[in-house]
Structure 1
Amino acid sequence: MLITIEEFLTRDEVARFRRQLDAADWQDGVQTAGALARSRKRNLQLADDAPPAISLGNEILRKAGSHPLFVSAALPRRIHPPRFNKYCDGGGYGSHIDSALMRLSDAGATIRSDLSVTLFLSEPDEYEGGELEIEGAFGVQSVKLAAGDMVIYLASNLHRVTPVTQGARLASFFWVESFVRDDGERTILFDLDQAIQGVTPAIGANDDNLVKMTGVYHNLLRRWALT
């Protein structure tokens, strides 16, 4: 699964995010890297407890929880609080796979990282390099989206950020534990949900076959969901 969501943030929202991030206190991103990733990671990050990280992260969480396409694709059970990073001056992040289990210190819980999410906060023409490269079953996919756009992909995929040779790449990133752990099952549900939404305007919400299709969706979700 690799799904992009265009205009997750509006232009005005991106501008407001950028004003706060431009004034923020950035730290060496290696502080949050695991032992194997330390030699591969060269970027800047906001501390998790920095005021803009908390306020902007909470705003992303609120939007994600009510965004139809995000919910349809991720079926989120729990979401790791969003983090923020900056790549510049040749910084990048070599090939790696995100940790499978992540501790939520404030909640005293641990989440399983099924999906990784990157929300781009810089326009593509503001920097050179900085592509998010994701290795999947069909080869390497290179992702470099407009500011405010989001990509959702499997946390189990090898991925990297190519070095930023000019300008700066700002982004938010986080992880999702899905109610449906299996990617194949989650993809079937996403495709079925999108098909239902696509035909509803043409045939009407009261169509008997549409009601049956919706029932199939919920019965599959009932079968596959982890609670």
Structure 2
Amino acid sequence: MLIRIPEVLSGESLAACQKIMLESEWVDGAVTAGKQSVKVKNNLQLPEQGAAAAAARKLVLEGLANHALFITAALPKKIFSPLFNCYTGEHNAFGNHIDNAIRTHKGEGGSVRTDISATLFLSEPDSYEGGELVIEDTFGTQRIKLAAGDMVLYPSSSVHRVEPVTSGARIASFFWIESMIRETERRRLLFEMDMALLDLRSREGDTDAVVRLTGSYHNLIRMWADS
């Protein structure tokens, strides 16, 4: 399931995050690469333990917490602390790879099962050339390049890459989500059901039928959720 989440960051929060990115110093992105992905990863990254990353991370997590579409799409149990990368100059691409199944927090302990991968775009698409996120899965090959502040969610089991950035700079936040609902197809069913319920409620109000269907939605979560 691939879902676009619009305006995770917007207005002052987006501007503040972009300002942090522009004023920060970057390091080689290989610091967070796995054994397979390090062979194809060529980008820059904000130091994970630095003050700049912490400030930007707070903005992203606040945006996620207040975004209803993200919550219903991901049904998050754990969110890996958001990281930040930059593709520009000689550090401009990330070849085909699949994300590690488990990510461990440096210095924090604990781990996250990577059910869902997220890329939150922080550069406007007309400010750089190339840099499309290419995702290959059962839904076909998708080429993603979104407005600053918008995010895409996709299965962490997908093969994906970032095409070379030939001019400008592509800056984004990336992270992983462990969902309460482990199976992709069950998450898809619940997402579609919730979207249909929202539509019904907006047109018909909380009729008896809508209330019963809403109960079925929550009962399915009770049946399937990891607690």
Cα-to-partner distance string for 1:7-31 (whole Å, 9 max, x where unaligned): 2211432222111111101001112
Q: Compute the RMSD of aligned alpha carbons.
A: 1.1
Conservation of the 8 A alpha-carbon contact between 1:73 and 1:190: yes
Partner of 1:111: 112
Number of equivalent positions: 226
Conservation of the 8 A alpha-carbon contact between 2:17 and 2:59: no
In the alignment, structure 2 segments of 5+ residues that lack a partner are none
Cα-to-partner distance string for 1:204-224 (whole Å, 9 max, x where unaligned): 12x100001101101111111
Query: 1:106 deviation in Å?
Result: 4.2
- Corresponding letter in the other structure for 2:39: S
- Corresponding letter in the other structure for 2:205: G
Partner of 1:50: 50
TM-score for both structures, normalised by structure 2? 0.96
Conservation of the 8 A alpha-carbon contact between 1:29 and 1:45: yes
Secondary structure at 1:38 match in 2: helix
TM-score for both structures, normalised by structure 1? 0.96
Give me the whole-angstrom Cα distance separating, in 2, the residues matched to 1:88 and 1:107. 30
Conservation of the 8 A alpha-carbon contact between 2:37 and 2:98: no
Conservation of the 8 A alpha-carbon contact between 1:58 and 1:81: no
Give me the whole-angstrom Cα distance separating, in 1, the residues matched to 2:50 and 2:216. 45
Please give the residue correspondences for 1:1-40 in structure 2 after superposition, counting only pairs within 5 Å: 1-40=1-40
Give me the whole-angstrom Cα distance separating, in 1, the residues matched to 2:198 and 2:106. 38
Matched, 1:70 2:70: yes
Please give the residue correspondences for 1:193-204 in structure 2 after superposition, counting only pairs within 5 Å: 193-204=194-205
Give me the whole-angstrom Cα distance separating, in 1, the residues matched to 2:40 and 2:109. 29
Partner of 1:219: 219
In the alignment, structure 1 segments of 5+ residues that lack a partner are none
Cα-to-partner distance string for 1:107-154 (whole Å, 9 max, x where unaligned): 421110000000000111101110000001132100000011100000
Give me the whole-angstrom Cα distance separating, in 1, the residues matched to 2:145 and 2:200. 31
Give me the whole-angstrom Cα distance separating, in 1, the residues matched to 2:22 and 2:37. 26
Give me the whole-angstrom Cα distance separating, in 2, the residues matched to 1:43 and 1:107. 24
Stretches of 4+ aligned residues off by more than 6 angstroms:
none
Q: Percent of aligned positions with the same letter in both sequences?
A: 46
